[in-house]
Structure 1
Amino acid sequence: MPIELTPLPYSPGALQPHLSERAVALQHGQHQRACVDAVNQRIIGTEWEDAPLERIVRESQGALFEAAAQAWNLQFQWQCLRPRGSGDPQGRLADRVKRRFGDVAGLRHAFNDAALGLFGAGWAWLVLHPDGSLAIQVTRNAGTPLTSHSTPLLGCNLWEHAYYLDYQNDRARYLEAWWKAANWEFASEQMPD
């Protein structure tokens, strides 16, 4: 059973002015599509042929892992953003943000510092560790928290193609815009009960 390109949860232009329709369409229709196609080509006739994408990410290696992880990361990313997003986290997530970072501004500052500190392509993540504490992780290339024991809550794409059309090489401006579309409700829903 082939892996399918999941549809966007909103129209490609819905994240404007933070991310342009063209940038979203490029990431989804070209980059994510290429990753899904690469996974499907590599799983034909293998033990992975009927496996869900998440299992392939957790258990594969090499080129298959790279394609599968990037496909999953991109799929997750779209849930982390929403039209008219941002605001502040609520409930249990807000309590954990306050405990770990002092407030949302402290979280954003720490997250942005980590994201700006990554040289090259990768991802910045807000994760929940098994002990219930929040942390920020930065992964290179297609790296993902799925391969650890931490639960990803938010993921920010730091590959150049994620922001070049809208912000050229200004990753800081991209991060500022990204926070304005952050989907805190989705992040809260990822937290285990």
Structure 2
Amino acid sequence: MATTDTASSPRFTPQDLPYAYDALAPAISEETMHYHHDKHYAGYVDKLNELIVDTPFAGQPLEDIILSADGPVYNNAAQAWNHAFFFGQLSPKPQKEPSGELLEAINRNFGSLDELKVQIGRAAAGLFGSGWVWLAEDPSGRLAVVSEQNAGNPMRHGMKPLLAIDVWEHAYYIDYRNRRADAVEALWGVVDWKVVGDRYAEK
């Protein structure tokens, strides 16, 4: 998430997509990307900028706001961060599978990549209403699939997010209607495991 420090500029600005709007089709259509990025994500950023004016949050990094805020400030801060994180892990030319230490950790904690995908798909299908499903690392180094309603982010539980699956309807309804499971399955074709691996390697 980009930040600006001048009084005449918004505190936070949406990150541009690192690919063209139509680059992830057919997994995610150009129309969905325009609505998801330009309307929903940008809307959360704009609302956050409004909410933090003349508050103690005005000078804080986005991650600190997520950890300390509640109510609308938290919701918009988390949704802004979550969306930037989500878009950043997708690619039209992704590394299709994890490798190195991340692959070892997935095999150690889930048995296989296929089993991890099954567990994420099950969590996404079973999450009532809107929210996010995460692959996250807990403080002991163990990987876990975490379901969070609404704007939930595993950083609030002391965990490090590695992979985000957006299961708000705006993320998939244009392309898949109510077929959430199909939308999640299609995402695996555009998830860049190099990005996820780089996140895992960060200390």
Question: TM class by shorter-chain length?
Answer: over 0.9
Are residues 1:108 and 2:86 paired?
A: no
Distance in 2 (CA, whole Å) between partners of 1:40 and 1:137 is 28
RMSD: 1.1
Are residues 1:177 and 2:193 paired?
A: no
Displacement of 1:56: 1.2
| TM-score (norm: length of structure 2) | 0.92
**Could you tell me which of 91, 95, 103 is aligned with 1:94?**
103
Displacement of 1:58: 1.3
Runs of 4+ that moved beyond 2 A: none
Distance in 1 (CA, whole Å) between partners of 2:192 and 2:133 is 15
**Could you tell me which of 131, 138, 141 is aligned with 1:132?**
141
CA contact (8 A) 1:86 1:180 kept: no
Letter in 2 for 1:175: V
1:156–1:86 CA distance, 2 compared to 1 (3 A)? farther
3-state SS, counterpart of residue 51 of structure 2? helix
Greater Cα offset, 170-179 or 51-60:
51-60
Q: Which residue of 1 aligns with 2:39?
A: 30
Displacement of 1:84: 2.6
Greater Cα offset, 95-104 or 47-56:
47-56
Q: Which residue of 2 aligns with 1:47?
A: 56
3-state SS, counterpart of residue 13 of structure 1? coil
| TM-score (norm: length of structure 1) | 0.96
Q: Which residue of 1 aligns with 2:8?
A: none
Letter in 2 for 1:103: S
Distance in 1 (CA, whole Å) between partners of 2:132 and 2:95 is 19
Q: Which residue of 2 aligns with 1:21?
A: 30
1:74–1:120 CA distance, 2 compared to 1 (3 A)? same
Displacement of 1:86: 5.4
Letter in 2 for 1:147: R
Report the identity percentage. 37
CA contact (8 A) 2:94 2:194 kept: no
Letter in 2 for 1:85: P
Displacement of 1:36: 0.6
Letter in 1 for 2:92: P
3-state SS, counterpart of residue 188 of structure 2? helix
Q: Which residue of 2 aligns with 1:154?
A: 163
Q: Which runs of 5+ in 2 are unaligned?
A: 6-10
Deviations 1:33-82 (A, max 9, x none): 11011100011111111222221111111111011111111111011211
Distance in 2 (CA, whole Å) between partners of 1:145 and 1:73 is 10
